[in-house]
Amino acid sequence: MQTKQNIAIKIIGGLFIASLLSCRAPAPPMPSGIVFFRGNESQGALYFYELSTGKIRLLTPPDQWIAPYYPYLISWSKQNRHFAYVTGYNNTAEIYTLALDGTIKRLTYNQWEDNSPQWSPNGQTLAFLSRKDDGMERAYIMNFASGEVRPLLPDKSILTADLRWSPQGDQIALSAVHAQEQPQFLGQIQTHYLYIVNPETGEIIKKQEGKDTAFDKLSWSPDGHKVAYVAHTAGRHELRIWDLERDVVYPLSEIEQDVWLVEWAPNGLFLAVFAGQLEERNPTLHLYIVDAEGKDIRDITPAGISVIMGRPGLWSPDSSCLLVTTYEETGQWAIRIIHWPTGRDKKIAGEYPFAISLLWVTDSEPPFSCESLFK
């Protein structure tokens, strides 16, 4: 059986164009809810929890194998109203889409794994990672309407481990390494470059190079002017901010523990930071809210919880709540929503031998209010 530490590392280390479907009746709105994984430590299924009713339903077909270890296991586009998600693991991993009417479509057919799908903000393009050419992981762009796939970067020597669309969709941030610097044919790569790329042309607009530093867990500020990330250097995992307008990098906070994930709030005023020490016998991982200036740090980990985790997409759209996974005193995993301004939290969807919170889905009018869940 795997330890809490191993599970946490895997999870942390380890998301139809309407004009083309004008002949069909528009799909009904997606009810507000959350997507989560439930199963065991190697496979399971994706489920949808409807916030207004508390009902849980299976989101993916029961015969599809969903592995929980990809950071971007599923992506939702409010614009094209489709989920993009990964099935399988390693060389069996492929990307599918799921429409609101239940239609499932396979997007990739490759010998090696395809993973980490992320919709562009306008829903017309899908960025993803793939080992399809020679077993080395690179970034690709797919036109959703035509299915055409092209490399994000013309330079095939650049291997990619993490990528994120800018909120405006005009840039992609990615952490990378050059193939000649990466001896492993497969396995997790150590990224020593951080690039800002034009997704239309593949041009590298800005870059950082860290000879003794690895970069990952990238997160854009909502205005697209900054990128937060985790820097692994000299045995430490630090939170840093890259100010793209001034092209300067600086540490944001004085959190003493190692940082494992950072995610900017939609309002741009705060960041969620997961930090702790993943020791073999007594791992701890807490959730902190840090203001954008790094002056105020608040630990909002629920009482009695030693390990708390999240994924990109954990912020509610109104920036008042966070969707997290907690390891309970019962030895089970639970999905919680934390209303961080008040410290209130709500355990939803029960407790399971293994579960992972994934993302919010809100497609409703008027705009979704997380605070209403606590009234």
pLDDT, position 368:
79
- Residue 200 confidence (pLDDT): 96
Sketch out the chain's domains with CATH numbers.
4-374 (2.120.10.30)
Q: How far is CA 100 from the centre of its chain?
A: 21
pLDDT greater than 60 at residue 219: yes
Position 138 scores a pLDDT of 94
Mean pLDDT of 209-237: 91
Token representation of residue 272: 């969620």
Is the pTM here over 0.75, yes or no?
Answer: yes
CB atoms within 10 A of CB 21: 14
The residue-averaged pLDDT of 185-210 equals: 83
Here the tokens at position 90 are: 């390693």
Confidence (pLDDT) at 236:
87
Cβ atoms of 182 and 190 within 8 Å: the answer is yes
pLDDT tens string 124-156: 999 999 998 888 899 999 999 999 999 999 999
pLDDT at residue 301 is higher than 90: yes
pLDDT-derived band of residue 241, with 50, 70 and 90 as boundaries?
A: very high
pLDDT band, very low/low/confident/very high, at 365 (cuts 50, 70, 90): low
Residue 228 near residue 245, CB atoms below 8 Å: no
Q: Is the pLDDT of residue 11 over 60?
A: no
CA separation, residue 223 to residues 75, 167, 201, 243, 245 (Å)? 21, 7, 22, 11, 11
**Per-residue pLDDT at 227 exceeds 80:** yes
Contact 83, 76 (CB under 8 A): yes
Residue 19 above 80 pLDDT? no
Low-confidence winner among 14-23, 55-64, 282-291 (lowest mean pLDDT): 14-23
3-state SS class at 272: strand
Return the pLDDT at 320.
95
- At 34-66, the pLDDT tens digits run 999 999 888 899 999 999 899 999 999 989 989
Q: What local confidence, expressed as pLDDT, does residue 295 receive?
A: 87
| Confidence band for 229, pLDDT divided at 50, 70 and 90 | very high
**Most confident of the following: 22-26, 94-98, 210-214:** 94-98
Look over the chain and give the mean of its residue pLDDT values, rounded to a whole number. Answer: 87
Inform me whether the pLDDT recorded for 108 exceeds 90. Answer: yes
pLDDT classification of 238: cutoffs 50, 70, 90: very high
Give the model confidence (pLDDT) of 150-187 as tens digits.
999 999 999 998 999 999 999 999 999 887 765 544 44
- Which of 110-119, 176-185, 256-265 is least confident? 176-185
Q: How would residue 17 be classed by pLDDT, with cut points 50, 70 and 90?
A: very low
- Beta-bridged to residue 337, according to DSSP, are 323, 346
278 close to 285: Cβ distance less than 8 angstroms: yes
Question: In angstroms, rounded to a whole number, what is the distance separating the alpha carbons of residues 344 and 336?
Answer: 10
The Cα–Cα gap between 178 and 181 comes to: 5
Please report the pLDDT score of residue 342 as a whole number.
94
Q: Can you tell me whether residue 159 is helix, strand or coil?
A: strand
Calculate mean pLDDT across residues 316-343. Answer: 95
Q: Which residue has the higher pLDDT, 121 or 91?
A: 121
Look at residue 1 and tell me whether its pLDDT is greater than 60: no
